[in-house]
Amino acid sequence: MCGRFTLTRRDGRSLAAELGVSEDSFADYRPRYNIAPLQNHFVVALEREDRKVIPARWGLVNSWAKDASRASHCINAKAETIEKLPSFRVAFKKRRCVVPGDGFYEWRGPKGKREPLWIHPREGGLILFAGLYESWQPEPEKWETTFTIITTTPNKLIEPIHNRMPVILSDRDADDWMNPNEADPLSLKRLLVPPPDDLLEVTPASPLVNSVKNEGPELLRR
C-alpha cells in the first residue's frame, strides 16, 4: 500500500530539471512532507514524446462517475488486476503516468503504538511511482484530474513491514510506461514489479506524521 508520501525538494527549478519538464511547471512549488489521499499534487505524463506536468488530486475518479465518493477507495491500484477492474482498465490502456516523490511512509508495531517509518532512496534521488490518471467533471464546465498509485508485492526490505508497496520506476522505464502510443499495454505489466532490495532505506519518522494536518521537515525527525 502507499497511503502517504513526500516530495521535499527545496525548489521547483531543480525539481523540473530532474523530471525533464519546463521550469514554468513549478511556479508555485513548495516542499511537501505529508502528502495524503484526496490532497492536490501532480502527475507527469507524455505528450508527443515530451513530458508534461498535470496538476491532479490523489484518489482516482472515473470520467463517468457522478460524484467523488469512491476517490478514497482508489488511491492505490493493484498491479495484478489493473487491466480487469472497471475503475482502472481504461486508464491503464490510455492514461498511464508517474507520480513524483522522494519517499513514502509506512507504520509498524502494535495498534496504539504504531511507529511511522520514512522509506526513501539510499542515494537521495527522486521516486517515480507508477500511476494512472483520469479526468472527471465535479460540476458542469469544470474538469478535475485525479490519480492513483500502483502497488505490487513487497521486496525483502518492505516485506517485514507491509504486504504491499508502490511500484517504483527507473527514469528509462518511466518513459516506456507513460508512452501513449504503446500498442500492447499488457506488455508494460513487466515493469510493475518490486524494486531492487537495496534501492531504498528505512528511517524512523516523527509521530507528527500520523495527522494529515501536519507538514514540515520536522516530520522526518524521530
Catalytic residues: 2, 106
For residue 206, what are the contacts with CB-CB under 8 A and spacing of at least 6? 116, 218, 219, 220, 221, 222
Residue with cell 508520501: 5
Residues ≥6 apart with Cβ < 8 Å to 159? none
CA-to-CA distance for 111 and 121, rounded, in angstroms? Answer: 27
Q: Are strands 76-78 and 142-152 parallel, antiparallel or unpaired?
A: parallel
**Beta-strand (E) ranges in the chain?**
5-7, 32-35, 40-47, 50-58, 76-78, 96-101, 103-108, 115-121, 127-139, 142-152, 165-166, 168-169, 200-204
